[in-house]
Amino acid sequence: EFGNVLDVFGGTGGVSHMFKNAGKQVTYNGLLAFNHTIGLALIENKEQKLSKEDTENVLSVSRNVLYPTFIRDNFRGIYFTDEENAWLDRVVYNIDHLLQNTYKQALARFALFQSCIIKRPYNLFHRANLYMRTAKVERTFGNKTTWDTPFETHFRNFVADANLAVFDNGKKNEAIQCDALATPTGFDLVYIDPPYLNSNGVGVDYRDFYHFLEGLVSYSEWSEKIDYQSKHRRLKPVQSLWNNPSKIKHVFERVIERHHDSILVISYRDDGIPTKEQLIQLLFKYKTQVKEAVLPNKYVLAHKQSHELLLVAT
């Protein structure tokens, strides 16, 4: 039984949205700027939606505006076509300048993020692989239709999806942006779903996978953050304790200790670092009961069977 919840690694907002739908008071935390934007749009926001006029304004072209060309100039031939890059430059400008409400801006950016992701091979930005879209080869899968669908079509569809996801559950929900080790305390339940570090010590760097979306949020400062030596124009690397095999067990314990007065729910996989046994041992240092649930999950690119792991400590 719990009334309020902290989602420490909010990510896409899916779990926070589930909690919100269940009538809980939700605090969503997203360290990355684009994640925090999703939290503002779908968790904290309780009533603002994008009207038809808002959408048309975002998609409009004004003869009196000299639109910026940063994406077109710096990402040519990397992720999207020249025409698509120019569209992105214009839409980002319109969101920043024509939408005055914070939540409406967040909704529009959410739709923009999803439009970018769906047009990308693997739905990521870790490689400069526009050629996969444009190569004239025989294909046995249907992704190309999605890739070639105009940005504007995708954007309108995701605006509709986002609007449908906005609701008021009668609670004061909040989206915050801070490091996991600086999250506020005192919640009934704390949900912890950190980046996964496999048994070989290889982690998931979401900042690198989605750096392009981070840039869209801070468009005016984007040029100062780019690693121009990289082929895919990533952001300058930032080290994370959650991707360090020698540090991750310690950082797990710091988060557990920080929230030891709350019900703790950890989502991980059973073949990672720390191991399931190590996580359970950590939890028993601060809690009296730990329940576990496992779900087989054969990842498409994985070479062995692993299990999704959920640990509930009270």
Question: Given this model, what pLDDT does residue 295 score?
Answer: 83
pTM for this prediction: 0.93
Question: Given this model, what pLDDT does residue 241 score?
Answer: 92
* Of 279, 290, 263, 241, the residue nearest 185 (C-alpha): 263
Question: Given this model, what pLDDT does residue 303 score?
Answer: 57
Question: Given this model, what pLDDT does residue 204 score?
Answer: 86
Question: Given this model, what pLDDT does residue 44 score?
Answer: 98
Sequence-distant (≥ 6) Cβ neighbours of residue 89 within 8 angstroms: 67, 68, 69, 70, 71, 72
Give the 3-state secondary structure of the chain.
CCCEEEECCCCCCHHHHHHHHCCCEEEEECCCHHHHHHHHHHHHCCCCCCCHHHHHHHHCCCCCCCCCCHHHHHCECCCECHHHHHHHHHHHHHHHHHCCCHHHHHHHHHHHHHHHHHCCHHHCCCCCCCHHHHCCCCCCCCHHHHHHCCHHHHHHHHHHHHHHHCCCCCCCCEEECCCHHHCCCCCCEEEECCCCEECCCCECCHHHHCHHHHHHHCHHHHHHHECCCCCCCCECCCCCHHHCCCCHHHHHHHHHHHCCCCEEEEEEECCECCCHHHHHHHHHCCCCCEEEEEEEECCCCCCCCEEEEEEEEC
* Residue numbers in the chain where pLDDT is lower than 70: 140-142, 297-305
Tell me the pLDDT tens digit for each residue of 52-80: 999 999 999 999 999 999 999 999 999 99
Q: How far apart are CA 95 and CA 37, in angstroms?
A: 13
Question: Given this model, what pLDDT does residue 133 score?
Answer: 84
Query: Residue 6 has which token pair?
Result: 């902290």
In terms of DSSP bridges, do strands 25-29 and 174-176 run parallel, antiparallel, or are they unpaired?
parallel
Q: How far apart are CA 304 and CA 204, in angstroms?
A: 18
Question: Given this model, what pLDDT does residue 82 score?
Answer: 97
Question: Given this model, what pLDDT does residue 312 score?
Answer: 98
Question: Given this model, what pLDDT does residue 298 score?
Answer: 60
Tell me the pLDDT tens digit for each residue of 246-287: 999 999 999 999 999 999 999 998 889 999 999 999 999 999
